[in-house]
Copies of this chain bind each other. A is one copy, B any other.
Amino acid sequence: MDPWTLLDRMHVGHFRIFDLFHHLLRSPETGDSHDFYVIDAPDWVNVIPITPGGEVVCVRQYRAGTDEVTLEIPGGMIDPGDGDPIEAARREMREETGYRADRFESLGVVSPNPAIQSNRCHTICAWDAYRDGPQRLDGSEVIDVELVHLDAIPSLITSGRITHSLVIAAFYLLDQTTAVPAG
């Protein structure tokens, strides 16, 4: 199966943290053209900071999309100045939680939504995370830090207290990294 052909691309608008584009695409199978809208944003990073005691450094914050206070892991946009996803992970974790770590491990890269979003999300584990000082939050951010033991994560997800698909995908990748083959 082949990709479709881009016939036209138009910028619809800039909306603070993403841009919206209209794409006119032609199917290689049918030859017909169809309209699509694509949300374009910088790549994102999500970090799972884990303390030496096996606790995940989580963040609780208000989210405008669902109009709810959610429990998540730290993360955000990879800035042009970050250099690479691990630097972005280090920065976001430090800003949002006040934690640092010396050992970072890339767990993988996922697509937030390949149907309508162009960007990727890098998932990084920060091992042996430790508290370094106060948070450094920007104007609109109000974030509570909450330590949750790794063993409690599955029930927080199945009970619907952790709901963000990118956070759940991050823990899937962590499970694969730390999984010990049976037998």
Contacts and interface: CB of A to CB of B under 8 A. Distances in A.
A144 B66 contact: no
Interface string A114-152: 111110010000000000000000011010100000000
A68 B118 CA distance: 10
Contacts of A65: 38-39, 111, 113-118
A113 B164 contact: yes
A69 B114 CA distance: 9
* Nearest 4 CB-CB pairings of A with B: A36-B64, A63-B114, A168-B169, A15-B37
Interface of A: 1-4, 6, 12-13, 15-18, 20, 22-23, 25, 27, 29-30, 32, 34-39, 60-70, 72, 108-118, 121, 139-140, 142, 144, 154, 157-158, 160, 163-166, 168-169, 171-173, 175-176, 179
